[in-house]
Amino acid sequence: MSEMQMTWEEQEMFRLLKNAPGTKYQEADDTEKHIIRDWLRSLLFTQVVTVEFVKADGSLRAMQCTLCPELIPASEAKFSIDGLPRSGKKETSVDVQAVFDVEAQQWRSFRYDRLKRILAEIRLDK
């Protein structure tokens, strides 16, 4: 079975058995993980960010997403800014980030430990 045919979990198991390095987030300690999550959330609250990550089925996905209230349609106001229904009490994990997918115009989520790339424009002028 080739590496591309394996699930993400199988690929991770082989990576760990080979003692191969993981992503910056996977290799980080708890403090560093917290810093990465806060940094990405701060970007998401101000703009559209493209995140590239491994989906549950093992395929790679690039998603343009945001948490910026001005960029989320009023029709989605039934959700809180973290992407959870205001009336629901869905259990959350610090390793999962709910975001608004600007292309699909729906709430989606990704796992930080499956992130491959983050693309954001950082402008210093107005």
Tens-digit pLDDT profile for residues 53-92: 988 888 899 999 999 999 998 887 555 555 454 444 455 7
DSSP letters spanning 75-109: GGTTB-TTSSBSS------TTEEEEEETTTTEEEE
CATH architecture designation of domain 3-119? Roll (2.30)
Q: Residue 41 belongs to what H/E stretch?
A: helix 30-44
- Residue-level pLDDT at 85: 47
Closest CA to 33 of 122, 125, 126, 113: 113
Asked if residue 118 lies in contact with residue 99, where contact means CB atoms within 8 angstroms, the answer is no
- Residue-level pLDDT at 39: 93
Tens-digit pLDDT profile for residues 87-125: 444 557 888 999 999 999 999 999 999 999 999 988 777
Task: Break the chain into its structural domains and give their ranges.
Answer: 3-119
The pTM of the full predicted model, rounded to 2 decimals, is 0.76
